[in-house]
Amino acid sequence: MPNVMIRKNETGALLFYVAKKDMEETIASVEQDSAERWGGEVALTDGSRWYIDPISPPPNFPTTLRFRRVDD
Amino acid sequence: MSTMTLEETKALIQEVLEAYPDKARKDRAKHLAANDQSVEQSKKCIISNRKSQPGVMTIRGCAYAGSKGVVWGPIKDMVHISHGPVGCGAYSRAGRRNYYTGHTGVNTFGTMNFTSDFQEKDIVFGGDKKLEKLIDEIEQLFPLVKGVSVQSECPIGLIGDDIEAVAKKKTKEHGKPVVPVRCEGFRGVSQSLGHHIANDAIRDHVLGNRDDDEGFETSPYDVAIIGDYNIGGDAWSSRILLEEMGLRVVAQWSGDGTLPEMELTPKVKLNLIHCYRSMNYISRYMEERYGIPWMEYNFFGPTKIAESLRKIAAFFDETIQANAERVIAKYRTEYEAVIAKYRPRLEGKKVMLYVGGLRPRHVIGAYEDLGMEVVGTGYEFAHNDDYDRTIQEMGNATLLYDDVTGYEFEAFVKRVKPDLIGSGIKEKYIFQKMGVPFRQMHSWDYSGPYHGYDGFAIFARDMDMTVNNPCWNSMQAPWLKPTAVETEAIAASA
């Protein structure tokens, strides 16, 4: 369960940054992304998938959250 | 590489790898690549930030080098104790050439070396008492010191000294920050982890110091320069450009930086980061904690400077944006004259780089402004995100080499035959003896600054001075040179 810092890049897309893993990826899709809730399954552009319990109300970015790897 | 196709580059890499035993070859193959701009994620073509192979000549440094040399060392109004045996501090003392203002030994301590000089008995009985005494002595001898940082050398971690406890005690006693930094040299694979550890120490011990203090008058144009590099005065030739734009540079780390400047950084509106590799951690932290946006900029060569100034101005209002254009226009005649003078002498020359941090990608623009072509580049201690940023800057089919070994670098140079190599002191004499022009790109070969418009003029002059030096025609001893008769004979037989 790594600590992940989520921040917006210049174009407004969300970046998924794991300092320990030295990994910076763009988030392709978020399962729940509305005015009330943010979270669920998160897919990255490199194909990996991560999970976080939906947060309500949506967090302000940038922020550090704990994600879990989705095993398939 | 204009002269090499993708296949040729790949074949060259294979050829160079042949020399290794199977296991080493398999590992090294992951670190060498031919650049392909269509690849978006560097991890698909190159692996970085891995442990070096035992037995090869790596050019990397250690975590202590990353913390003491890069992040903490240049903070001039603090004393940085090299805690451990005397060598680490003594051999690295004042080698970085980060210029600073102030009176050394009175209110600034940049070129001085402070060490706890560990002996056998300190290793056996622990060195905490010695450290306490040392901090007291510093306080007594240098009352104007603003703070102390304890830079651990390898033995501190091995014997398990509790430098944090000493630091806490002495902070309370002297009322000045004493920062323990756990940057023992054996940590991590290169100096990169040292940067990270040092950044974390800044986060824990410095940044929050003025959180409840609203006494500092802010302006909407406050910026901080982070990771300014500052060799031979780089920080100042960058700073004046920002100030001419109408921005207020509140803090400048770590070259010519001070502890109060670092403490004020959380009050700025924008963090400008030059050395991404060593300072991105703290910028990310400030973005999250204080909501300060950060951006990378590049002040090497007029094309990149103009690009960066416009990008920086875009964060502010129209006055600043207009000012940015004015600054670019102001220096236009100056840099156009530099290009007009040196470009004809340097046009088409090939350059190979192997440096650390930000330069393997940042200086490409400056070389291109002079009509030179970078045909190979590599980092000592980069991570994937650095290569992500490099792939776009480099031409197709150029060489990328991560943590290159002495053998590989030599083999590449023999085949690619660049007109100039930019790397560090450890590589300098090998290549000069091979007859290849060489510039140190760590210390600017005792020249500088290279940043900003002023720096570009010096950069162009230095490159010309090196590449077109008449000494490269005298590599052969006069009595070994073919005589005129022999030359004619060779020409006739050919």
Chain B, nearest residue to A61 by Cα: B288
Does the ipTM exceed 0.85? yes
Q: How far apart are CA B224 and CA B242, in angstroms?
A: 10
The C-alpha torsion from B39 through B42 and B43 to B44, rounded to 10°, is: 20
Average pLDDT over residues B232-252: 93
Closest residue to A46, CB basis, from B41, B287, B288: B41
Q: Are strands B438-440 and B420-423 parallel, antiparallel or unpaired?
A: parallel
B 351-410 residues with CB < 8 A to A? 383-385, 388
Shortest CA gap B182–chain A (Å): 17
In a mutational test of the A interface, the residue from B290, B383, B386 whose CB has the highest number of chain A CBs within 10 Å is B383
Instruction: Place B330 in a pLDDT band, splitting at 50, 70 and 90.
Output: very high
Q: For B312, phi and psi rounded to 5 degrees?
A: -65, -45
Quick check: is B65 catalytic?
Answer: yes
Domains and CATH numbers, chain A: 3-69 (2.40.50.240)
* pLDDT over 60 (residue B2): no
Mean of all residue pLDDT scores within chain B: 92
Task: Tell me which of A48-57, A63-72, B302-311, B477-486 is least confident.
Answer: B477-486
Q: What is the mean pLDDT of residues B19-35?
A: 93
Q: What is the mean pLDDT of residues B169-189?
A: 95
Percentage of chain B surpassing pLDDT 90?
A: 79
Please give the Cα distance from B209 to B290 (Å, whole number).
Answer: 13
Active site residue B62: yes
Q: In this structure, what token pair is assigned to residue A60?
A: 């302000």
Q: Can you say how many angstroms the Cα of residue A42 is from the centroid of all Cα atoms in its chain?
A: 6
Which of the four pLDDT bands, split at 50, 70 and 90, describes residue B251? very high
Higher pLDDT, A60 or B315: B315
Per-residue model confidence as pLDDT tens digits over B116-153? 999 999 999 999 999 999 999 999 999 999 999 999 99
* Beta bridge partner(s), residue B470: none
| pTM, two decimal places | 0.92
Given an 8 Å threshold on Cβ–Cβ distance, is B288 in contact with A63?
A: yes
pLDDT tens digits, residue range B70-129?
A: 999 999 999 999 999 999 999 999 888 888 999 999 999 999 999 999 999 999 999 999
Sheet containing B178-181: order of strands: B114-115, B78-83, B147-152, B178-181
The question of whether B383 is a catalytic residue gets the answer: no
B339-395 pLDDT, tens digit per residue, is 999 999 999 999 999 998 889 999 999 999 999 999 999 999 998 888 888 998 888
Structure confidence by residue, pLDDT tens digits, B433-455: 999 999 999 999 999 899 999 99
User: Cβ of A5 and B385 within 8 Å?
Assistant: no
C-alpha B403/C-alpha B393 separation (Å) is 19
User: Does the pLDDT at position A27 exceed 80?
Assistant: yes
**pLDDT confidence band for B1 (50 / 70 / 90):** very low
The Cα B150–Cα B145 span in angstroms is 14
SS3 label, residue A58: coil
Q: Kindly tell me if the per-residue pLDDT of B494 is higher than 80.
A: no
| pLDDT higher than threshold 90 for residue B39 | no
Q: Which residues in chain B are closer than 8 Å to A62, comparing Cβ atoms?
A: 284, 287-288
Average pLDDT over residues B53-60: 89
Nearest to B159 by CA among B229, B85, B216: B85
Q: Give the span between the Cα atoms of B298 and B326, in whole angstroms.
A: 19
